[in-house]
Structure 1
Amino acid sequence: MEITTMGPAEIRELISMRDAVDAVREGFLALHRGEFEMPTRTVLRDGGFLVMSVHHRPSSSAMIKTLSLNFDRSPAIVGTVTWSEFGHTDHLVADAMELTRIRTGAVSGVATDLMAPPEAATCTVIGAGGQAADQARAVQAVRPLSRLHIVSRNSDKAEALAARLREELPIADVTSGTDVEKGVRDVDVVCCATTSTTPLFPADAIAAHTHVNAIGAFRPTMRELPDELLTDSVVVIDELEAILEEAGDVLHALDAGAVTRDRLVELGPALADGIGPRTGRTVFKSVGVALQDWAIARILADRALRR
């Protein structure tokens, strides 16, 4: 048996964000076709440790990810992703932090491509932590941006991220600030990537045409979105069972009667069937599911184990 290990730099070298978006999109379509065995993730220490696993029947491949999360340390996410195939002895073990950032960005890219206006060109990312850069990269991959704004309570972190993305991405105007409500007004796409436990902005701050990706809140006690935004938006989620187990934004809105379960559309069916006429705001809520990690790990395995 041969084990190939990959760190952050090697992962970035082998996969572009466009690759990641395409792979995650196909993964959700495969989920809709019933190709995966995917248990709900195991959560220990109230989200301090996560274990995610998935088996793809057509390829006889499996992925297991183990994470520890501690937002008082840097990096906050530490763990491994292990890829194996039933008919092969070679394994891939990859850095989970980098892979998680890429796959979380990629699913926002998939949702943005599906739901944001075709002419969308402006984006605000709320948060300047480990997930934020790939949210911007993913939106840029599907909607070339003319303006990007980074918002964080920590002005130094916001400007540091903005400076990095100015150098990296072909966006004419990249700015930073600390005023969330001002930052989200009249932009085409908003990405929420925080660990907040209360809504980040009032619903009326979001314009009628805006698409919102919310990926930060992954426990029932966490929230980034106001209930009223879900009431007045087309709401697409990654996977219903995971959302009802973990998504504080949605659970709070359901308990308050602001949204009903029948209005929650899973991403796989939405990709297969569309979301119907787009007449107002749209929201994508994700807590992350194992097929996203599988989709990225599959590319890495194809390029690292078989070259």
Structure 2
Amino acid sequence: MTMPAAIKAVREAFVGLAAEEFDLPPRQAFGDSRSLVMAVHHRPTGSTAVKVISIEVERDPMITGTVVYSHSDGQFVTDAVSLTTLRTGAVVGVATDLLADEDASHLALLGAGAQAVDQVRAVHAVRPLKKLVVFNRNAKKAEALLESLKDELPDTVMDVANDADEAVRDADVVCCATASTVPLFRCDSLKERVHVNAIGSYRPVMRELPEELLATAGVVVVDQVEAALSEAGEIIRAVQSGVLRLESLVELGAALGNPPLREGRTVFKSVGVAVQDWAVARLLV
């Protein structure tokens, strides 16, 4: 499956979510969020997707599991790892297309784990990249990632940064894909006009974004407010401290119907919702 096809499918799914086409119960987490169960039902087609995964931060890939897509003709079962990286990349592509400047071409990627390649592919699909800078605590993993992307991005200048602040300094788009529990960079390291995606944190104790960024961003978009308030550490902390107003959070589906202004710094925070799995599984079927 191509990344542009996945982006289109995920975009349509979030429009459908905003139109209340889905039954989407909260994600179930067990064992300190080491086991997750995600389910969704699409009423217009009568189809359902269920994903069961286990997560171990020190394992590579962190995720193992299975996705089951049920529809009128039967069931489709697939491995959760590649589907999850693809659908997570796709939602970043949707958000970047919505919020980044049309001429954005410089991506800073923080994290070189299993999610990294599809983060790059998704941004490149909507904003062709002239420059890619990667920072990872293990520099060899960053170098290996860039080596694996050379054939796909032959015209893109690539580099490994010494630290996260250096990586983001001149970027038009930033993608955070780590398991960090502390902010990855300082807000003042960012350009005044930049779009930031964060997909790594999925537990209240995890954070990738500095509080100052959430306090001063022109718009903060989330995949789903309910999910963000229960799982996104940086969103929870910023709302509780009062620097981010709950009513200022915009869900992605609503933003697609009423695009916000591309001004200043914009943020998309995703913890992942089951409509993304449904969209990609349906497209595979």
TM-score per shorter chain, which class? over 0.9
AA partner of residue 54 (structure 1): V
Deviation for aligned residue 1:150: 1.1
1:8 corresponds to: none
1:231 corresponds to: 215
**Separation of aligned partners in 2, 1:29 and 1:170:** 34
1:139 corresponds to: 123
2:193 corresponds to: 209
2:230 corresponds to: 245
Equivalent positions of 1:76-225 (< 5 A) are 76-85=62-71, 87-88=72-73, 90-225=74-209
2:258 corresponds to: 273
Q: Is 1:73 aligned with 2:59? A: yes
Task: Provide the secondary structure at the position in 2 that maps to 1:34.
Answer: coil
Q: TM-score scaled to structure 2, two decimals?
A: 0.98
AA partner of residue 289 (structure 1): V
State which of 35, 40, 44 in structure 1 corresponds to 2:26: 40
1:216-241 Cα deviation digits (max 9, x unpaired): 00100000001100111110000011
2:239 corresponds to: 254
8 Å contact kept, 2:6–2:87: yes
Q: TM-score scaled to structure 1, two decimals?
A: 0.91
Q: CA RMSD in A?
A: 0.9
1:264 corresponds to: 249
8 Å contact kept, 1:223–1:249: yes
Percent of aligned pairs sharing the same letter: 52
Deviation for aligned residue 1:174: 1.4
Deviation for aligned residue 1:278: 2.3
Alignment gaps of 5+ in structure 1: 1-14, 302-307
1:282 corresponds to: 266
Deviation for aligned residue 1:273: 1.0
Alignment gaps of 5+ in structure 2: none
**Separation of aligned partners in 1, 2:184 and 2:29:** 25
